[in-house]
Amino acid sequence: MGDDKNDEDENLCTPFDQGTDHCEYDVQLLPIEYMVKAAGTTTVIVDTSLPVPQGLSVGTVRSTSVALTWTTVSGATKYSIYRADAGSTQFNYVGQSQPGIATYIDNNISPSTTYDYKVSSVFVDTGGQASESPQSTKVTVTSAAPPANFPTSATGYTVNDNFNGNTTGAAPSGWNPNTSGGTVTVQEVPFPTDKSVKIYKSSTSNDAAATKLFSSLSGKVTVEAKVKTTENSGVRYIPNIYDNNGNKIASVAFSNGNIAYNKNGTLTNIDPYVADKWYISKWCWIPLPIRMTYS
């Protein structure tokens, strides 16, 4: 994906706009390999001698997300997060933080609901074996009330593109490619059975992009995509999202080595990214804009 320009855009719906009546917006980008607790035949072993994370606390709380932080544990590779309904003793695994990062955002909670959280530290040896500490002392949080007319759940997929039925090397079916400055083709990446679309920009004066139009929907809408870039320089949007009037309301990009969001035409860095690593871009808002563009 490639785009060397920053658009000057107004009417953006950004994390600073959350909680307003017209918009509920969350963005989370995480490396795919850290979205699961264990892969293949790897088994996580609980080792009571390992240090337990301390200082678990609650940060920003919204109607469908909560931010957690804790004190870094020396030597820990990453951390596992567990959640329970308030008062329950059954804590279920919900995810892991990125390596070396003592923060986590849980984007899968319900409005006006009380939860308990715990966290454990994970150590991985040179052979790839993961060992996990006992869980920390719990922290309790109640999610915020929803904005006016905010529904409590999505109703299912409207679009579920995986490109596997598309011809390799051809333009993606159902998408409108802009090839004035490059190419937009279906590729057998990461696997022949799990295809993706490659957007390659070869021009500095024209764009390469793929756009999809959506019918207007009501309610809470989530868009999730797997994205990556092979370069550390330039700006690649993942994606731009527009409303019914053609105004860009949300935008996240790979921007010169950082994941960044666009507010009022300015890209603000969130976290660094690793080139050639797959990430999950996840969006949730009300209502659904009708156009989404990757460039």
The span from the CA of 94 to the CA of 66, in Å, is: 12
Check if 15-24+154-294 and 36-142 are the same fold.
Answer: no
Domain ranges of the chain: 15-24+154-294, 36-142
- The list of the chain residues with pLDDT below 70 reads 1-44, 147-159, 216-220, 263-264, 284-295
Q: How many CB atoms lie within 10 A of CB 2?
A: 22
The span from the CA of 127 to the CA of 108, in Å, is: 33
Between the alpha carbon of residue 77 and those of residues 72, 117, 130, 161, 273, the distances in Å are 10, 20, 9, 34, 17
Q: pLDDT value at position 32?
A: 36
Q: Write the CB contacts of 162 (distance below 8 Å, at least 6 apart in sequence).
A: 194, 195
Q: pLDDT value at position 240?
A: 78
Of the candidates 230, 220, 48, which has an alpha carbon nearest to the alpha carbon of residue 151? 220
11-29, pLDDT tens digit by residue? 333 333 333 333 333 444 4
30, 33, 34, 36: CA torsion to nearest 10? 120
The distance in angstroms from the start CA to the end CA of the chain is 6
CATH, domain range 36-142: 2.60.40.10
Q: pLDDT value at position 294?
A: 58
Of the candidates 215, 225, 239, 220, which has an alpha carbon nearest to the alpha carbon of residue 289? 215
Q: pLDDT value at position 50?
A: 94
Q: pLDDT value at position 62?
A: 85
Hey, what amino acid is at 88? S
Q: pLDDT value at position 133?
A: 95
User: pTM of this prediction?
Assistant: 0.49
Q: pLDDT value at position 143?
A: 92
DSSP three-state, residue 71: coil
Select from 3.90.550, 1.10.1740, 2.60.120, 2.60.40 the CATH code of 15-24+154-294: 2.60.120
Of the candidates 161, 162, 206, which has an alpha carbon nearest to the alpha carbon of residue 181? 206
The span from the CA of 27 to the CA of 176, in Å, is: 25
